[in-house]
Amino acid sequence: MSPMLSEATISMRAKAAHRPRAKVWRRLGMVLLYLLLTAVALFCITPMLWMILGSFKYDSEILAYPPTFLPKYWLYENYVRATTLIPMGRWFLNSLILAAITELSVLTTASLAGYAFAHLEFRLKHVLFLAILGTMMVPFFTIMIPLFLMVSRLKLLNTYLGMVLPGLVSAYGIFLMRQFMSTIPSELLEAARIDGSSEFRIWAEIVIPNSRPALGTLALFTFLSSWDSFTWPLVIVNQRPMKPIALGLVEFTGQLAFETKHGTLLAASSIAVVPVLIVFILAQEQIIESFHLSGLKG
Protein backbone atom coordinates (compact mmCIF):
# COMPACT_ATOMS: atom_id res chain seq x y z
CA MET A 1 0.00 0.00 0.00
CA SER A 2 2.81 2.45 0.66
CA PRO A 3 4.26 4.15 -2.37
CA MET A 4 7.42 2.71 -3.81
CA LEU A 5 10.16 5.16 -2.98
CA SER A 6 13.38 5.76 -4.78
CA GLU A 7 16.71 4.41 -3.57
CA ALA A 8 17.86 7.81 -2.43
CA THR A 9 14.80 8.34 -0.30
CA ILE A 10 14.95 4.88 1.17
CA SER A 11 18.56 5.26 2.20
CA MET A 12 17.94 8.75 3.49
CA ARG A 13 15.06 7.51 5.56
CA ALA A 14 16.96 4.46 6.73
CA LYS A 15 19.77 6.61 8.02
CA ALA A 16 17.39 8.96 9.73
CA ALA A 17 15.46 6.11 11.22
CA HIS A 18 18.40 4.85 13.20
CA ARG A 19 18.68 7.99 15.22
CA PRO A 20 17.37 7.24 18.72
CA ARG A 21 15.10 10.27 18.92
CA ALA A 22 13.49 9.35 15.64
CA LYS A 23 12.73 5.93 17.02
CA VAL A 24 10.91 7.37 19.97
CA TRP A 25 8.85 9.67 17.80
CA ARG A 26 7.97 6.86 15.53
CA ARG A 27 6.85 4.62 18.38
CA LEU A 28 4.76 7.44 19.70
CA GLY A 29 3.33 8.03 16.25
CA MET A 30 2.37 4.40 15.88
CA VAL A 31 0.73 4.32 19.28
CA LEU A 32 -1.22 7.42 18.45
CA LEU A 33 -2.21 5.95 15.12
CA TYR A 34 -3.53 2.80 16.69
CA LEU A 35 -5.37 4.74 19.38
CA LEU A 36 -7.06 7.00 16.91
CA LEU A 37 -7.98 4.25 14.50
CA THR A 38 -9.23 2.03 17.28
CA ALA A 39 -11.39 4.80 18.63
CA VAL A 40 -12.95 5.36 15.24
CA ALA A 41 -13.32 1.65 14.61
CA LEU A 42 -15.10 1.24 17.93
CA PHE A 43 -17.37 4.11 17.02
CA CYS A 44 -18.19 2.33 13.81
CA ILE A 45 -18.95 -1.01 15.39
CA THR A 46 -20.60 -0.01 18.64
CA PRO A 47 -24.12 0.61 17.33
CA MET A 48 -24.10 -2.84 15.73
CA LEU A 49 -22.75 -4.49 18.84
CA TRP A 50 -25.25 -2.69 21.02
CA MET A 51 -28.04 -3.84 18.76
CA ILE A 52 -27.00 -7.46 18.72
CA LEU A 53 -26.24 -7.67 22.43
CA GLY A 54 -29.39 -5.74 23.23
CA SER A 55 -31.49 -8.19 21.31
CA PHE A 56 -30.64 -10.74 23.96
CA LYS A 57 -31.46 -8.51 26.90
CA TYR A 58 -34.56 -7.97 28.93
CA ASP A 59 -36.32 -4.76 27.94
CA SER A 60 -35.63 -3.18 31.27
CA GLU A 61 -31.95 -3.80 30.86
CA ILE A 62 -31.71 -2.32 27.39
CA LEU A 63 -32.66 1.12 28.54
CA ALA A 64 -31.21 0.70 31.98
CA TYR A 65 -29.11 3.37 33.54
CA PRO A 66 -26.21 3.00 33.94
CA PRO A 67 -26.00 1.14 30.66
CA THR A 68 -24.71 -2.41 30.63
CA PHE A 69 -22.66 -4.08 27.98
CA LEU A 70 -23.08 -7.82 28.05
CA PRO A 71 -26.55 -9.02 28.95
CA LYS A 72 -26.95 -10.02 32.57
CA TYR A 73 -29.24 -12.79 31.51
CA TRP A 74 -29.30 -14.08 28.00
CA LEU A 75 -32.80 -13.97 26.66
CA TYR A 76 -33.91 -15.70 23.52
CA GLU A 77 -37.57 -14.80 23.71
CA ASN A 78 -36.99 -11.59 21.82
CA TYR A 79 -36.18 -13.53 18.72
CA VAL A 80 -39.20 -15.74 19.18
CA ARG A 81 -41.41 -12.72 19.58
CA ALA A 82 -39.71 -11.04 16.64
CA THR A 83 -40.91 -13.75 14.35
CA THR A 84 -44.35 -14.24 15.88
CA LEU A 85 -45.61 -10.86 17.05
CA ILE A 86 -44.07 -9.19 14.08
CA PRO A 87 -44.23 -11.04 10.80
CA MET A 88 -40.47 -10.87 10.40
CA GLY A 89 -40.39 -14.20 8.64
CA ARG A 90 -42.78 -13.05 5.97
CA TRP A 91 -41.03 -9.72 5.58
CA PHE A 92 -37.68 -11.44 5.27
CA LEU A 93 -39.13 -13.62 2.57
CA ASN A 94 -40.52 -10.60 0.77
CA SER A 95 -37.14 -8.94 0.76
CA LEU A 96 -35.56 -12.12 -0.57
CA ILE A 97 -38.09 -12.41 -3.38
CA LEU A 98 -37.66 -8.76 -4.31
CA ALA A 99 -33.90 -9.16 -4.27
CA ALA A 100 -34.10 -12.25 -6.47
CA ILE A 101 -36.31 -10.61 -9.07
CA THR A 102 -34.19 -7.48 -9.08
CA GLU A 103 -30.98 -9.47 -9.42
CA LEU A 104 -32.25 -11.41 -12.36
CA SER A 105 -33.49 -8.34 -14.14
CA VAL A 106 -30.52 -6.12 -13.43
CA LEU A 107 -27.90 -8.71 -14.31
CA THR A 108 -29.62 -9.64 -17.55
CA THR A 109 -30.33 -6.15 -18.80
CA ALA A 110 -26.95 -4.85 -17.73
CA SER A 111 -25.01 -7.61 -19.44
CA LEU A 112 -27.07 -7.34 -22.61
CA ALA A 113 -26.73 -3.59 -22.86
CA GLY A 114 -23.18 -3.62 -21.56
CA TYR A 115 -22.14 -6.01 -24.30
CA ALA A 116 -23.74 -3.88 -26.96
CA PHE A 117 -22.03 -0.76 -25.74
CA ALA A 118 -18.72 -2.52 -25.37
CA HIS A 119 -18.47 -4.46 -28.58
CA LEU A 120 -21.19 -3.65 -31.04
CA GLU A 121 -21.39 -0.72 -33.39
CA PHE A 122 -24.59 1.12 -34.03
CA ARG A 123 -25.55 4.63 -34.86
CA LEU A 124 -27.21 5.70 -31.63
CA LYS A 125 -24.52 4.12 -29.46
CA HIS A 126 -23.08 7.25 -27.91
CA VAL A 127 -26.36 9.04 -27.59
CA LEU A 128 -28.01 6.14 -25.84
CA PHE A 129 -25.08 5.54 -23.54
CA LEU A 130 -24.98 9.14 -22.44
CA ALA A 131 -28.74 9.19 -22.03
CA ILE A 132 -28.65 6.13 -19.81
CA LEU A 133 -25.88 7.60 -17.70
CA GLY A 134 -27.88 10.78 -17.57
CA THR A 135 -30.76 9.03 -15.87
CA MET A 136 -28.56 8.69 -12.84
CA MET A 137 -29.02 12.41 -12.41
CA VAL A 138 -32.75 12.16 -11.89
CA PRO A 139 -33.58 11.95 -8.20
CA PHE A 140 -36.08 9.32 -7.28
CA PHE A 141 -38.36 11.92 -5.73
CA THR A 142 -39.03 13.45 -9.11
CA ILE A 143 -40.38 10.26 -10.63
CA MET A 144 -41.99 9.09 -7.40
CA ILE A 145 -45.34 10.76 -7.94
CA PRO A 146 -45.90 9.74 -11.57
CA LEU A 147 -44.68 6.22 -10.85
CA PHE A 148 -47.15 5.99 -8.02
CA LEU A 149 -49.98 7.06 -10.28
CA MET A 150 -48.82 4.64 -12.95
CA VAL A 151 -48.53 1.73 -10.58
CA SER A 152 -51.87 2.38 -8.96
CA ARG A 153 -53.64 2.62 -12.31
CA LEU A 154 -52.02 -0.62 -13.40
CA LYS A 155 -53.34 -2.19 -10.21
CA LEU A 156 -49.82 -3.03 -9.12
CA LEU A 157 -50.03 -1.55 -5.66
CA ASN A 158 -49.00 -3.96 -2.94
CA THR A 159 -47.50 -6.36 -5.47
CA TYR A 160 -43.98 -7.66 -5.93
CA LEU A 161 -43.93 -6.44 -9.51
CA GLY A 162 -44.89 -2.97 -8.42
CA MET A 163 -42.19 -2.94 -5.80
CA VAL A 164 -39.37 -3.99 -8.11
CA LEU A 165 -40.44 -1.78 -10.97
CA PRO A 166 -38.13 1.21 -10.54
CA GLY A 167 -35.20 -1.04 -9.83
CA LEU A 168 -35.35 -3.43 -12.75
CA VAL A 169 -32.55 -1.79 -14.69
CA SER A 170 -29.49 -0.18 -13.25
CA ALA A 171 -27.51 2.42 -15.14
CA TYR A 172 -24.60 1.71 -12.86
CA GLY A 173 -24.89 -1.93 -13.82
CA ILE A 174 -24.81 -1.14 -17.50
CA PHE A 175 -21.79 1.06 -16.99
CA LEU A 176 -20.02 -1.59 -14.96
CA MET A 177 -20.65 -4.35 -17.45
CA ARG A 178 -19.58 -2.18 -20.34
CA GLN A 179 -16.32 -1.30 -18.62
CA PHE A 180 -15.58 -4.90 -17.89
CA MET A 181 -16.71 -6.40 -21.15
CA SER A 182 -14.61 -4.01 -23.17
CA THR A 183 -11.61 -5.79 -21.74
CA ILE A 184 -12.61 -8.98 -23.49
CA PRO A 185 -10.45 -9.13 -26.60
CA SER A 186 -12.48 -8.57 -29.72
CA GLU A 187 -10.39 -11.10 -31.63
CA LEU A 188 -12.14 -13.74 -29.60
CA LEU A 189 -15.50 -12.44 -30.68
CA GLU A 190 -14.41 -11.92 -34.26
CA ALA A 191 -13.33 -15.50 -34.46
CA ALA A 192 -16.74 -16.60 -33.33
CA ARG A 193 -18.42 -14.30 -35.78
CA ILE A 194 -16.36 -15.64 -38.63
CA ASP A 195 -17.48 -19.08 -37.62
CA GLY A 196 -21.00 -17.91 -38.23
CA SER A 197 -22.14 -17.52 -34.64
CA SER A 198 -24.98 -15.12 -33.94
CA GLU A 199 -24.32 -12.23 -31.58
CA PHE A 200 -26.66 -13.68 -29.05
CA ARG A 201 -24.74 -16.95 -29.01
CA ILE A 202 -21.51 -15.03 -28.66
CA TRP A 203 -22.99 -13.15 -25.78
CA ALA A 204 -24.31 -16.21 -24.05
CA GLU A 205 -21.43 -18.57 -24.65
CA ILE A 206 -18.34 -16.39 -24.66
CA VAL A 207 -18.96 -13.03 -23.07
CA ILE A 208 -21.07 -13.99 -20.08
CA PRO A 209 -18.87 -16.83 -18.82
CA ASN A 210 -15.89 -14.49 -19.07
CA SER A 211 -17.62 -11.74 -17.16
CA ARG A 212 -18.08 -13.56 -13.90
CA PRO A 213 -16.09 -11.13 -11.73
CA ALA A 214 -18.11 -8.16 -12.89
CA LEU A 215 -21.35 -10.08 -12.63
CA GLY A 216 -20.47 -11.09 -9.10
CA THR A 217 -19.66 -7.56 -8.12
CA LEU A 218 -22.85 -6.24 -9.65
CA ALA A 219 -24.86 -8.99 -8.02
CA LEU A 220 -23.53 -8.09 -4.59
CA PHE A 221 -24.10 -4.41 -5.06
CA THR A 222 -27.62 -4.96 -6.36
CA PHE A 223 -28.40 -7.22 -3.45
CA LEU A 224 -27.26 -4.67 -0.91
CA SER A 225 -29.28 -1.88 -2.43
CA SER A 226 -32.35 -4.05 -2.89
CA TRP A 227 -32.24 -5.20 0.73
CA ASP A 228 -32.24 -1.57 1.72
CA SER A 229 -35.20 -0.56 -0.36
CA PHE A 230 -37.55 1.55 1.64
CA THR A 231 -38.81 4.73 0.03
CA TRP A 232 -40.59 3.24 -2.94
CA PRO A 233 -42.25 0.41 -0.99
CA LEU A 234 -43.30 3.03 1.52
CA VAL A 235 -45.22 4.76 -1.22
CA ILE A 236 -46.97 1.79 -2.77
CA VAL A 237 -47.35 -0.82 -0.05
CA ASN A 238 -49.73 -0.59 2.85
CA GLN A 239 -50.67 -4.21 3.35
CA ARG A 240 -48.63 -5.61 6.14
CA PRO A 241 -47.86 -9.06 4.73
CA MET A 242 -46.42 -7.57 1.57
CA LYS A 243 -43.92 -5.29 3.17
CA PRO A 244 -40.21 -5.75 2.70
CA ILE A 245 -38.07 -5.79 5.82
CA ALA A 246 -37.18 -2.11 5.98
CA LEU A 247 -40.74 -0.98 5.59
CA GLY A 248 -42.04 -3.55 8.03
CA LEU A 249 -39.62 -2.53 10.74
CA VAL A 250 -40.69 1.08 10.46
CA GLU A 251 -44.19 0.10 11.36
CA PHE A 252 -42.90 -0.70 14.80
CA THR A 253 -41.23 2.55 15.54
CA GLY A 254 -43.35 5.63 15.95
CA GLN A 255 -46.69 5.13 17.61
CA LEU A 256 -46.51 1.42 18.04
CA ALA A 257 -43.14 1.68 19.76
CA PHE A 258 -44.80 1.88 23.14
CA GLU A 259 -46.51 -1.43 22.73
CA THR A 260 -43.63 -3.19 21.07
CA LYS A 261 -41.01 -4.44 23.40
CA HIS A 262 -37.67 -2.85 22.72
CA GLY A 263 -35.88 -6.12 22.79
CA THR A 264 -38.15 -7.50 20.13
CA LEU A 265 -37.43 -4.51 17.96
CA LEU A 266 -33.70 -4.97 18.38
CA ALA A 267 -34.02 -8.65 17.60
CA ALA A 268 -35.95 -7.81 14.47
CA SER A 269 -33.34 -5.26 13.47
CA SER A 270 -30.63 -7.81 14.03
CA ILE A 271 -32.41 -10.25 11.78
CA ALA A 272 -32.44 -7.55 9.13
CA VAL A 273 -28.82 -6.58 9.48
CA VAL A 274 -26.83 -9.64 10.48
CA PRO A 275 -27.24 -11.75 7.32
CA VAL A 276 -25.95 -8.87 5.23
CA LEU A 277 -23.11 -8.43 7.68
CA ILE A 278 -22.12 -12.07 7.30
CA VAL A 279 -22.23 -11.78 3.53
CA PHE A 280 -20.04 -8.72 3.82
CA ILE A 281 -17.42 -10.37 5.97
CA LEU A 282 -17.25 -13.30 3.58
CA ALA A 283 -17.22 -11.31 0.36
CA GLN A 284 -15.46 -8.23 1.66
CA GLU A 285 -13.10 -7.64 -1.21
CA GLN A 286 -15.75 -7.85 -3.86
CA ILE A 287 -18.21 -5.67 -2.01
CA ILE A 288 -15.69 -2.93 -1.39
CA GLU A 289 -14.68 -3.19 -5.02
CA SER A 290 -18.28 -2.73 -6.10
CA PHE A 291 -18.59 0.46 -4.07
CA HIS A 292 -15.24 1.56 -5.42
CA LEU A 293 -16.40 1.20 -8.99
CA SER A 294 -19.73 2.82 -8.32
CA GLY A 295 -17.88 5.95 -7.38
CA LEU A 296 -15.39 5.96 -10.19
CA LYS A 297 -17.70 6.72 -13.02
CA GLY A 298 -15.91 10.06 -13.36
Partner 1 sequence: MGLAAALRPAKRVRVRHRSIKYPAWVPYLFVSPAVIFYLAIFIFPVAWALYISVHRFQLGRPDNPFVGLENYRYIFMDDRIFRASLVRTLYFSFGFVLTNSTIGLILALLMNRWFVGRYLYRMAFFIPVVTSIIPMAIVWKFLYNTDLGLFNGILNRAFGFRIPWLSDERWAIPSLIIMATWRRMGYAMMIYLAGLQDVPREHIEAAMVDGANAWQRFWHVVWPALAPTTLFVLVTSSITGMLTFGEIYVMTEGGPGQATTVLSYYIYRTSFEFLRMGRGAAMSFVLFIFIFILTIIQLRYARGPQTE
Site for partner 1 in 213-242 (CB under 8 A): 224, 227-228, 230-231, 234-235
From candidates 27, 72, 212, 297, binder to partner 1 by CB under 8 A: 297
DSSP 99-124: HHHHHHHHHHHHHHHHHHHHH---TT
Query: Could you tell me where the DSSP H helices lie in 55-87?
Result: 59-62, 77-84
**Residue 176 binds partner 1 (CB under 8 A):** no
From candidates 11, 12, 26, 31, binder to partner 1 by CB under 8 A: 12
Helix (H) or strand (E) holding 72: none
Least distance in angstroms from the C-beta of 189 to partner 1: 8
The CA distance from 228 to 143, in Å, is: 19
Site for partner 1 in 120-139 (CB under 8 A): 120-125, 128, 131-132, 135, 137-139
CB 103 within 8 A of CB 169: no
From candidates 8, 14, 155, 239, binder to partner 1 by CB under 8 A: 8
Q: Please choose, out of 70-78, 83-91, 148-156, 209-217, the segment that lies near partner 1 by the rule CB under 8 A.
A: 148-156
From candidates 75, 96, 101, 144, binder to partner 1 by CB under 8 A: 144
Helix (H) or strand (E) holding 206: none
The CA distance from 91 to 243, in Å, is: 6
* Amino acid, single-letter form, for residue 252: F
**Residue 258 binds partner 1 (CB under 8 A):** no
Please name the residues in contact with 69: beta carbons below 8 A apart, sequence gap of 6 or more.
Answer: 53
Least distance in angstroms from the C-beta of 37 to partner 1: 5
**Residue 254 binds partner 1 (CB under 8 A):** yes
* Amino acid, single-letter form, for residue 71: P
Burial of 268 (0-12, 13-18, 19+ CB in 10 A): buried
Question: Number of residues in contact with partner 1, rule: CB under 8 A?
Answer: 111
Site for partner 1 in 38-57 (CB under 8 A): 38, 40-41, 43-45, 47-48, 50-51, 54
From candidates 82, 99, 116, 214, binder to partner 1 by CB under 8 A: 116
